[in-house]
Structure 1
Amino acid sequence: MAVLVGKKAPSFKATAVVDGEFVEDFSLDQYVGKQHVLFYFYPMDFTFVCPTEIIAFQDRMEDFKRKNVAVVGCSVDTHFSHWAWLNTPRDKGGIEGVAYPLVADATKTIAKNFDVLAGDYDYNEEGELVFIGEPVAYRGLFLIDKAGIVRHQVVNDMPLGRSIDEALRMIDALQYFEEKGEVCPANWEEGKEGMQATHEGVSNYLASH
């Protein structure tokens, strides 16, 4: 699996559903210079763990907005599938009320470029082109700064839901570093002290704790 941290996030243009409307040629490039981006993948529409995550992000949207962070989801489904799911009530297994962008990656190229696709095409012994593995994305999450650089990534296997609190904590840590120039030690949370990235700074921090 590729480590994209420190590299420019792969660029793409695709159709997304944003607040119930189709948006063609949607791209993360629109956020460069303006906002941090939390870009995440989920395996598939109309499944079980996925709506809990998608709705959990929506439920914390005010927290992300206060931090000037755009949240964008993506799966290998079509935009028509996204739209249908968004128009399905939550008590019927849907994600009605989710307003942030959901990108359609029906070609699987976005998941492939972010290296979260849970399989790949190959030839079998009969020379037939087949898909080995599962043609969906793992639960990848990428925190991208205003310059378009990936600063944090985590990839979960499909049965393992992610923590929205941890995603917000990493945003706080990145923005603290960008503002203060201090690094964030283990278990750092908003409101806690950082430390200087020097031997003296580390020693002083450890001595005070």
Structure 2
Amino acid sequence: MSIVGRKFPNIEVNAMDSMGDTIKINVFKEAIDKKKKVLLFWYPKDFTFVCPTELHAFQDALGEFEKRNTVVIGASVDSAEVHFAWLNTPKDQGGIEGVTYPLLADTNRNLSYALDILDGTEIYDEDNDEVQIEGDNVTFRATYLIDEEGTVFHEGVNHMPLGRNVNEFIRLIDAYSHVQTHGEVCPANWEEGKDAMKANREGTAAYLASH
């Protein structure tokens, strides 16, 4: 079930910061307490192939997110210790050395389960009268944009092989900020600096007539 338009789950998770310290992060409170937007992106596993390209891409764009009052947080179900090892592995060896935003270590899968983004399937074993998990039980490439009130305004989930377009999240943050500031709605392919529309029939008609 989508959580767009609803509050992000109020769940605290272990995390690793760029200094090598294990910390705890509650994404919902991160937005509320700091009065910032949050971009939370999940990836399947550390030390894989597509994943480091995404983490470096978010790092490269970190300044653009910071200019938009947005905190970036990565997440997987790997442990904080595995995150630390990956953070200390050079880029040319498949590592993410140089990444400075925190990484959630949702090893107990409390948050990823609440978000329903795990690829594992529960199978009932009648012979042993127990439930087993089929699959790796890691997360899809899920992305959440959360506003300063802790409300989700974007949710997207990619299958494992499909990397994300970081610039699209910048565009979505710009569009949502425009809505917040001006009360206008943003049409298809809207980008910062383009015309938006008033949220009524007359506004839509005027916009279409001028384009």
TM-score (norm 2): 0.95
Moved >4 Å (runs of 4+): none
1:43 aligns with 2:44: yes
Q: Quick one: which amino acid aligns to residue 31 of structure 1?
A: A
Question: Cα offset for 1:193?
Answer: 0.8
**Is this contact kept in 2: 1:16–1:26, CA < 8 A?**
yes
Question: Cα offset for 1:188?
Answer: 0.4
Distance of 2:6 and 2:150 partners within structure 1: 8
**Is this contact kept in 1: 2:36–2:71, CA < 8 A?**
yes
Q: 2:90 maps to what in 1?
A: 89
Please list every run of 5 or more consecutive structure 1 residues that lacks an aligned counterpart in the other structure.
Answer: none
Question: Cα offset for 1:200?
Answer: 0.2
Aligned pairs (5 A) from 1:1-209? 2-28=1-27, 29-32=29-32, 34-126=35-127, 127-209=129-211
Question: Cα offset for 1:157?
Answer: 0.3
Distance of 1:199 and 1:160 partners within structure 2: 37
Where 1:141 maps in the other structure, the secondary structure is strand
Distance of 1:146 and 1:23 partners within structure 2: 25
Say how many residue pairs are matched: 208
Question: Cα offset for 1:122?
Answer: 3.4
TM-score (norm 1): 0.96
Question: Cα offset for 1:77?
Answer: 0.3
**Is this contact kept in 2: 1:15–1:22, CA < 8 A?**
no
**Is this contact kept in 1: 2:54–2:163, CA < 8 A?**
yes
Question: Cα offset for 1:31?
Answer: 2.5
